[in-house]
Amino acid sequence: MTQIVRSTAKTRTKLTTLSKLTVLISAIVPLLASLLFLAPPASAATLREVTGFGNNPSNLRMHLYVPDRLASRPAVLVGMHGCTGSGPYFYSSTEFASLADRYGFIVIYPSATRSGKCWDVSSPQALRHDGGSDPVGIRSMISWVTRTYGADTSRIFVTGSSSGGMMTNVLLGDYPDVFKAGAAYMGVPFGCFATTDGSGWNSACANGNVTRTPQAWGNLVRAAYPGYTGARPRMQTWHGTADTTLRYPNFGEQIKQWTNVLGLSQTPARTDSPQSGWTRTRYGNTGDQAPVEAISLQGVGHSVPTTGMAARTIRFFGLDG
């Protein structure tokens, strides 16, 4: 009799426990379902190629990255690869696309098509407003994007490394009416790589042997768009002291050029070291969006941008708001 009572008690305990589990599960399942329903969808943004974007005299290719969460009237950034590179390579090897995801701007990744995949920063056509060659094709890409996505034409920016850094200088000179600011990694001044023999390489400039006065450098920029009297874009430039491809003196020559173009003193308004081995000088004012900002990288070779640098460029552009 005692065993029967104990068995009955155990059965009741099991039934009670089972009942509690049933109630608990019935409460959890709807909660999980609601959480799954509310969870954000996986990112659908991908790099895609655009064709037929307009006047393109040098047959450039255009790749485009549009984030899932696009800002209203988004800004546009042009990201320029170096020699032997491509737009997709610059997309995958830099942090600009992930920053676009965060801040809602569009990134254009052009690709050079000539032998060596370097940009034309040397020919007379490339160094003149609407003169032809690569700058005209890049300008067409920007026009296509602003029309297609209703982008803010007052917030167009450009950045690039090596040959792309050179092209950043060229685009700011050719199209001051288009760009708000630029950031050149390992570049050279506008017009420094100019040649008259059809060659795309200027050894004297690459080796840091071309020096001019600030006025002479500024005159080269002003001559690219005769008669232009509007606002000029701000410039950020980065260079490693151990760069043996586009040597370090080009860093100082860019500072001379763009401070002159913007009518600034050659004396920095502020000098600091935001990171070990970095020396940052700002010209015109001391803030994050100074007219000219220059970052010298002690002991660094031809290898930038590296982790974290793109975010500082986005801050300089004012796109991190």
pLDDT (0 to 100) of residue 128: 98
pLDDT (0 to 100) of residue 43: 59
Structure tokens at 244: 């043996």
- C-alpha triplet 114, 300, 134: angle, nearest 5°: 20
Residues near 134 by Cβ (< 8 Å), separated by ≥ 6?
58, 60, 110, 112, 119, 120, 126, 167
Average pLDDT over residues 183-211: 96
Instruction: State the DSSP string of 255-320.
Output: HHHHHHHTT--SS-SEEE-SSTTEEEEEES-SSTT-SEEEEEETT--S----TTHHHHHHHHHT--
**Within-domain flag for 38:** no
- Cβ–Cβ under 8 Å, residues 94 and 65: no
* pTM given for the model: 0.87
Between 33 and 203, name the one with better pLDDT: 203
Separation between Cα atoms, residue 156 and residue 264, nearest integer Å: 23
| pLDDT tens digits, 231-275 | 999 999 999 999 999 999 999 999 999 999 999 999 999 999 999
**Within-domain flag for 18:** no
Distances (CA, A) of 288 to 63, 71, 85, 106, 240: 30, 22, 30, 22, 21
Distances (CA, A) of 305 to 160, 262, 297, 309, 312: 9, 25, 11, 6, 10
Average pLDDT, the chain: 90
- Cβ–Cβ under 8 Å, residues 138 and 78: yes
**Statement: residue 155 has pLDDT above 60:** yes
- C-alpha triplet 172, 206, 297: angle, nearest 5°: 75
**CATH number of the structural domain spanning residue 114:** 3.40.50.1820
- C-alpha triplet 169, 171, 176: angle, nearest 5°: 105
**Statement: residue 12 has pLDDT above 60:** no
Distance of CA 320 to the CA centre of its chain: 12
Separation between Cα atoms, residue 116 and residue 133, nearest integer Å: 16
**Phi, psi dihedrals of residue 135, rounded to the nearest 5°:** -55, -35
pLDDT (0 to 100) of residue 321: 82
Counting the structural domains of the chain, the total is 1
Looking up tokens 């970052």 gives 295
**Within-domain flag for 61:** yes
**Within-domain flag for 83:** yes
**Within-domain flag for 34:** no
pLDDT (0 to 100) of residue 198: 85
Q: Which residues are catalytic?
A: 162
- Cβ–Cβ under 8 Å, residues 162 and 112: no
**Within-domain flag for 28:** no
pLDDT (0 to 100) of residue 197: 87
For residue 71, what is the DSSP state? P
Range of the domain at 203: 47-317
**Statement: residue 40 has pLDDT above 50:** no
pLDDT (0 to 100) of residue 196: 87
- Cβ–Cβ under 8 Å, residues 230 and 172: no
Structure tokens at 121: 């920063």
Give the dihedral of Cα atoms 206, 208, 210, 216; nearest 10 deg.
Answer: 110
Q: How confident is the model at residue 20 (pLDDT cuts 50, 70, 90)?
A: very low
**Within-domain flag for 79:** yes
**Within-domain flag for 19:** no
In 3D space, the residue among 217, 195, 181, 50 whose CA is nearest the CA of residue 118 turns out to be 195
Q: How confident is the model at residue 26 (pLDDT cuts 50, 70, 90)?
A: very low
- Residue length of the chain: 321
